[in-house]
Chain A
Amino acid sequence: MTEAAATHRERPRAVPAGNVRVWDPLVRLIHWGVVAGVVLNAALLEDDGKAHEVVGYVVLGFVLVRLIWGLVGTTHARFSAFPPNPLAALRHLAGLLRGHRRVHLSHNPAGALMAYNLWATLIGLAATGYMMGTPRYFGMEWVEELHEGLFAWLMISVALHIAAVLLDSWLTRVPLLRAMITGRKRLPPDAGPGR
């Protein structure tokens, strides 16, 4: 870890205003790669075709690379920047209701939970998809139902994710969608201190 990053972690109040680099190119490539894969498999490809299978494994590959990147990647991409903490997520949401507007350079605690949820769901989809092609689980209805159930959960999660991104962008005035495209968060000059 660089000295600057370490200092930054110790002094979380020093959130700089202006354009801050947060998402490195790999994070963005993986994010939009997963989006493309999910759209292809959910809406465009035959459920039982070879292409659906290949796309599913490519998405799994993206997720696995992202998980490794969570250990060795850039500051804001690391798990240490957004540890899974349901209590912190609840506090964050309760804070929103009370009018708190905290800006986070990585994910906010609720967004962090969503990221872990999406990764786990995608891994579950790949695992059940793989199982359907093995002699042991081929044609087993519970495996297919689990795959479909996970897909339904993925769609609910994606809807929540998009709604939350829009809501957070509106509340904190940090355009999050743009950040996932350009890699930079444009922080308003009066942005509250983040954690």
Chain B
Amino acid sequence: MKKLLLAAGLAASLPAVALALSPGDTLGTIADEIRASLTEQGWDVRKLEMDDGRFEAYAVMGTQMVEVYVDPATGKVVKVEADD
């Protein structure tokens, strides 16, 4: 029980973990919007480019490294690849 409380407390104190990106999240339909959304969530956006008609963002938060694919038509995340 104590451990569970501790885990809950940790999760609450680390919004970064709670705010993990997932498909369906809306980030924006243009590069600037996507960059701003990710930055607002605490991500350090390293690179943002067009790849096969989708935006591909390389972002880092702490030790988490992700490649986020965004559909420019809907502004939604279509895929998140986590690099360990």
Contact = CB atoms under 8 A, between A and B. Distances in A.
A133 interface: yes
B47 A135 contact: no
B58 A139 contact: yes
A140 interface: yes
Contact of A139 (B47, B62, B63, B64): B47
Nearest to B46: A139
A138 interface: yes
Interface in A56-102: none
Interface residues of A, number: 6
Contact of B63 (A135, A140, A141): A135
Contacts of B16: none
Given A138-B60, A139-B58, A139-B60, A133 B47 contact: no
Contacts, number: 22
Given A133-B65, A133-B83, A135-B65, A141 B47 contact: yes
Contacts of B58: 138-139
Interface string B41-73: 000001100000000001110111100000000
Contacts of B83: 133, 138
A138 B45 CA distance: 10
A135 B47 CA distance: 13
Contacts of B62: 135
Contact of A140 (B46, B59, B64): B46
A149 B68 CA distance: 26
Nearest to A133: B83
Interface in A121-161: 133, 135, 138-141
Interface of B: 46-47, 58-60, 62-65, 83
Given A133-B65, A135-B64, A138-B58, 16 more contacts: A133-B83, A135-B62, A135-B63, A135-B65, A138-B46, A138-B60, A138-B65, A138-B83, A139-B46, A139-B47, A139-B58, A139-B59, A139-B60, A139-B65, A140-B46, A140-B47
Interface of A: 133, 135, 138-141
19 contacts: A133-B65, A135-B60, A135-B62, A135-B63, A135-B64, A135-B65, A138-B46, A138-B58, A138-B60, A138-B65, A138-B83, A139-B47, A139-B58, A139-B60, A139-B65, A140-B46, A140-B47, A141-B46, A141-B47
